[in-house]
């Protein structure tokens, strides 16, 4: 039986995260003349530069002492790797992370700096998951999955609680989608705590066109998988998952209103626009929600008060320099 997280699970995660994850601000991004208002939920301001700390810490903190004593293992292209490494170090736990050979150098180095042991495999998201499961079976490590896990989802859901508290009249929340952990948690938090004054908040996922497997899954009514060589073409390295998790799919079916996809050009433009302000610098994966707001208004709900989650700011400095040169 696949478990759907409850509001109590998300509130419990929030209590665990107190003093660990930052309660990130909402920043109004649009000007006074704009009919549609956009507020940015700045998860790029987390200690690891991304929202992933929330779920990773909630998962590791909820393991038994015996499980923690054996060490934890995870698999990630970058931000979840840092989240697990940070959580493990904070809790005094050994961490092993399986990362793809094409992971951005800045994310690889940041994970190493947090004292995690890194195992490198090929570019496929399935390949790193299988290697992590193999090592876990050999050494008894506890697996900390990147998205397909109730504790991970509950941790990410704390983002949704904060959005509702800071902007009770929000009408649409735009959320980047990779494996689906963030949108599962945010949509559950928002739909389960629907304030009486604002019962109709819409939650819309955003994916790169070349990695729009969640959109395809939602349309087909079953999980659709994309080939590794296709999804690895997106600049949004954090969203290169080949398929969403089974637990995430159930949350999306229950709580997500729609998923839109954005082009590589649109992702670049949104990343460039956000880089104009030091507070809003986003990696391409973190900029997709803004790309949807800027370029896909016709596919989004016709709402005045909108939030885009800036899921991470760990942009490769070389990429940032290249974008600002154009």
Digit-coded pLDDT (tens) for 37-50? 999 999 999 999 99
State both tokens at 134.
Answer: 């193999």
- Distance from C-alpha of 72 to C-alpha of 70, rounded to nearest angstrom: 7
pLDDT-derived band at 153, boundaries 50, 70, 90? very high
Per-residue pLDDT for 107 more than 90?
no
Digit-coded pLDDT (tens) for 201-246? 999 999 999 999 999 999 999 999 999 889 989 999 889 888 999 9
pLDDT at 323: 84
Buried b or exposed e, range 263-300, using 16+ CB within 10 angstroms? ebebbbbbbebbbeeeebbbbbbbbbbbbbbbbbeeeb
Digit-coded pLDDT (tens) for 171-208? 999 999 999 999 999 999 999 987 665 668 999 999 99
pLDDT-derived band at 126, boundaries 50, 70, 90? confident
Q: Please, which residues have CB within 8 angstroms of residue 15's CB and are 6 or more apart in sequence?
A: none
Q: How far apart are the first and last CA of the chain?
A: 51
Helices (H), the chain: 7-17, 52-62, 65-70, 79-91, 105-113, 125-139, 150-166, 181-192, 213-220, 228-231, 246-255, 264-274, 284-295, 317-325
pLDDT-derived band at 326, boundaries 50, 70, 90? low
Question: Domains plus CATH for the chain?
Answer: 7-50+149-325 (3.40.50.1100), 53-143 (3.40.50.1100)
Average pLDDT over residues 56-83: 95
Per-residue pLDDT for 124 more than 90?
no
- Distance from C-alpha of 60 to C-alpha of 117, rounded to nearest angstrom: 16
pTM of the model: 0.95
Q: Please, which residues have CB within 8 angstroms of residue 250's CB and are 6 or more apart in sequence?
A: 2, 4
CA angle 179/183/188 to nearest 5° reads: 130
Per-residue pLDDT for 1 more than 70?
no
Per-residue pLDDT for 324 more than 80?
no
- Distance from C-alpha of 165 to C-alpha of 236, rounded to nearest angstrom: 29
State both tokens at 21.
Answer: 């994850």
71 three-class SS: coil
* Beta-sheet pairing, 26-28 with 95-100: unpaired
Average pLDDT over residues 136-152: 97
* Beta-sheet pairing, 202-208 with 172-176: parallel
Q: Please, which residues have CB within 8 angstroms of residue 62's CB and are 6 or more apart in sequence?
A: 16, 151
- Distance from C-alpha of 97 to C-alpha of 144, rounded to nearest angstrom: 10
Average pLDDT of the chain, as a whole number: 94
pLDDT at 197: 58
Phi, psi for 115 (deg, rounded to 5): 70, 20
Per-residue pLDDT for 154 more than 70?
yes
Q: Are 307 and 38 in contact (CB under 8 A)?
A: yes
CA angle 99/105/110 to nearest 5° reads: 80
Sign (positive/negative) of CA torsion 10, 130, 60, 118?
negative
pLDDT at 195: 61
Which residue is associated with the tokens 């998988």? Answer: 225
47 three-class SS: coil
């Amino acid at each position: 039986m696949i478990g759907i997280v409850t509001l109590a699970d998300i509130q419990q995660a929030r209590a665990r995260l107190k003093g660990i994850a930052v309660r990130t601000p909402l920043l109004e991004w649009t000007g006074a003349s704009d009919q549609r208002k956009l507020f940015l939920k700045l998860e790029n301001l987390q200690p690891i530069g991304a929202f992933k700390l929330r779920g990773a810490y909630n998962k590791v903190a909820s393991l038994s002492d015996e499980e923690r004593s054996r060490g934890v293992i995870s698999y990630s292209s970058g931000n979840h790797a840092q989240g697990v490494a940070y959580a493990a170090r904070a809790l005094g736990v050994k961490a092993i992370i399986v990362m793809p050979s094409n992971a951005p150098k800045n994310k690889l180095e940041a994970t190493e700096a947090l004292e995690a042991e890194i195992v490198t495999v090929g570019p496929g998201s399935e390949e790193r998951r299988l290697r992590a499961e193999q090592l876990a079976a050999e050494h008894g490590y506890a697996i900390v999955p990147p998205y397909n896990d109730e504790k991970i989802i509950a941790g990410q859901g704390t983002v949704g609680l904060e959005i509702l508290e800071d902007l009770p009249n929000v009408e649409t929340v735009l959320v980047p989608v990779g494996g689906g952990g963030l949108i599962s948690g945010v949509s559950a938090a928002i739909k389960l705590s629907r304030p009486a004054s604002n019962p109709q908040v819409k939650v819309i996922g955003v994916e790169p066109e070349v990695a729009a497997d969640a959109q395809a899954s939602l349309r087909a009514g079953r999980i659709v998988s994309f080939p590794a060589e296709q999804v690895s073409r997106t600049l949004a390295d954090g969203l290169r998952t080949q398929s969403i998790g089974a637990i995430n799919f159930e949350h999306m079916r229950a709580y997500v209103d729609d998923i839109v996809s954005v082009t590589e050009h649109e992702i670049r433009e949104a990343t460039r626009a956000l880089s104009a302000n030091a507070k809003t610098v986003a990696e391409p994966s973190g900029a997709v929600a803004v790309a949807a707001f800027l370029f896909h208004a016709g596919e989004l709900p016709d709402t005045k008060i909108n939030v885009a989650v800036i899921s991470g700011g760990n942009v490769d400095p070389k990429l940032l320099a290249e974008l600002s040169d154009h």
